């Protein structure tokens, strides 16, 4: 039974493309082929521009400096003093390396979009400078009073407040608690980041999910208000592996090219006749899943040239010069019906995927079909195939 008929949730994963190319030639060759050569002209131009200007030196703020430890606070002074101990100066910005109790996060790709898939408490952290050398503290010291600092997630924002793209399709990440104690109104010239910072993270489902992935890039940063200079980045100490609890698949070859053999107009017997079948495979790479789990993969094809096409004949692209022919894609011996969704009448190709199945090949065929008065020329037809699961 089709998933749509069962009213089960079906999510479409990123589409891939199928391109079929061929040519239909006249049998007669009385006229020599002409080749047109394109001409190219070149010119060179040079422009010299000398601009002299001066700005007040006050317009350029001196950068803040980075140190491994706090500067001694003079007796009776409310704040530490600039410039600090040169012996402890470090290249910046610093990086806060956070270490959760587990580097594997299991998620359920079948969960509804907008669901919190997992939470994670970061119980320990360390600090390194820009060269990766460990530091006892991450101190930033400026020559000017800094009115606070702020953190920002580095991914793109999503439709969910505080949730940002993680870099893995369909997975969002959110920092729930942030140990920011230096906010607007706290005027000082120096700030200190100590190891042992704790964070709480949430992983959200923000869209269709595929095979999971690995989180290894920085997820957030902290900058100071004074001159927007970065103080430190937040990164996982070791990569976080996102593992689906069910097997998931993605298309191994985003572009599948099929080259049909050349034919002559006289080879087509009548309207509706077909010929020139050519085998090809759409290959899926699959992984993940808890023991004994399985999932049902669905695939449907859409006519890229005519997306509203709901027939079993793929349209030719505008670049095609042949007429009177189309292309059919076969699932077994049955021509596939194209469509923009997996709903009927679109052909739904289904495969049951079990744990431990790394590769799934879906065999198909492409062929010519006569649609009218055939004239010689080139034939190009493009379909996009979309995989989903429920």
Structural domains of the chain, with CATH: 63-243 (2.60.40), 247-389 (2.60.40.1090)
Q: Are 43 and 52 in contact (CB under 8 A)?
A: no
Query: Who's near 347: CB < 8 A, 6+ residues apart?
Result: 300, 301, 331, 334, 336, 337, 338, 339
Q: In the prediction, which pLDDT does 82 show?
A: 46
CA 233 to chain CA centroid, Å, is: 22
Q: DSSP class of residue 316?
A: P
Q: DSSP class of residue 161?
A: T
pTM of the model: 0.63
Secondary structure class of 265 (helix, strand, coil): helix
Q: What is the pLDDT along the chain (390 residues), one digit of tens a residue?
A: 222 222 333 445 556 676 766 666 654 433 333 323 333 333 333 333 333 333 344 444 558 899 987 655 555 555 554 456 678 899 999 999 999 888 999 998 888 999 999 999 887 889 999 999 999 889 888 877 777 788 889 999 999 999 999 999 899 999 987 755 555 555 667 778 888 777 889 999 998 887 788 999 899 999 888 788 999 999 999 999 998 888 888 778 778 999 999 999 999 999 999 999 999 999 888 887 888 888 888 889 999 999 999 999 999 999 999 999 999 999 999 999 999 888 889 999 988 888 888 888 999 999 999 999 999 999 999 999 888 766
Query: Who's near 96: CB < 8 A, 6+ residues apart?
Result: 125, 126, 127, 138, 193, 197, 232, 233, 234, 235
Q: In the prediction, which pLDDT does 71 show?
A: 58
**Strand pairing class (65-67; 138-147):** antiparallel
Q: In the prediction, which pLDDT does 227 show?
A: 84
* Residue the block writes with tokens 């008929």: 5
Q: In the prediction, which pLDDT does 364 show?
A: 94
Q: In the prediction, which pLDDT does 62 show?
A: 56
Q: In the prediction, which pLDDT does 199 show?
A: 81
Q: Cα separation of 200 and 177, whole Å?
A: 5
Query: Who's near 291: CB < 8 A, 6+ residues apart?
Result: 355
Q: In the prediction, which pLDDT does 142 show?
A: 83
Q: Are 172 and 164 in contact (CB under 8 A)?
A: yes
Token pair in block for residue 284: 């899926």
């Amino acid at each position: 039974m089709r998933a749509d008929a069962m009213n089960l949730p079906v999510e479409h994963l990123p589409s891939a493309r199928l391109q079929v190319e061929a040519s239909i030639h006249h049998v007669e060759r009385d006229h020599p082929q002409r080749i047109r050569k394109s001409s190219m002209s070149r010119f060179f131009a040079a422009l010299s521009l000398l601009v002299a200007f001066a700005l007040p030196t006050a317009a350029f703020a001196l950068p803040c400096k980075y140190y491994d430890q706090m500067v001694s606070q003079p007796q009776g002074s409310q704040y530490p003093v600039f410039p600090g101990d040169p012996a402890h100066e470090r290249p910046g910005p610093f990086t806060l390396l956070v270490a959760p109790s587990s580097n594997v996060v299991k998620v359920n790709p079948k969960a509804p979009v907008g669901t919190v898939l997992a939470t994670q408490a970061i119980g320990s952290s360390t600090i390194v400078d820009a060269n990766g050398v460990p530091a006892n503290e991450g101190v930033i010291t400026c020559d000017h009073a800094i009115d606070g600092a702020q953190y920002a997630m580095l991914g793109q924002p999503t439709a969910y407040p505080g949730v940002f793209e993680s870099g893995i399709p369909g997975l969002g990440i959110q920092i729930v608690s942030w140990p920011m104690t230096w906010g607007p109104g706290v005027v000082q010239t120096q700030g200190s980041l100590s190891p042992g910072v704790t964070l709480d993270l949430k992983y959200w489902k923000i869209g269709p999910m595929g095979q999971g992935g690995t989180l290894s890039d920085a997820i957030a940063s902290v900058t100071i208000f004074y001159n927007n200079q970065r103080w430190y980045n937040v990164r996982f100490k070791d990569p976080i592996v996102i593992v689906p609890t069910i097997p998931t698949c993605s298309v191994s070859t985003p572009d599948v090219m099929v080259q049909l053999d050349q034919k002559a107009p006289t080879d087509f017997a009548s309207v509706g006749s077909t010929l020139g079948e050519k085998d090809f495979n759409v290959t899926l790479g699959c992984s993940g899943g808890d023991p004994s789990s399985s999932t049902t993969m669905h695939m449907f094809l859409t006519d890229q040239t005519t997306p509203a096409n709901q027939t079993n004949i793929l349209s030719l692209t505008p670049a095609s010069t042949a007429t009177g022919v189309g292309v059919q894609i076969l699932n077994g011996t049955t021509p596939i019906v194209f469509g923009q969704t997996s709903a009927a009448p679109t052909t739904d190709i289904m495969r049951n995927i079990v744990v431990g199945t790394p590769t799934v090949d879906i065999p198909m065929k492409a062929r010519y079909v006569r649609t009218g008065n055939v004239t010689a020329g080139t034939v190009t037809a493009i379909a996009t195939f979309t995989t989903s699961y429920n």
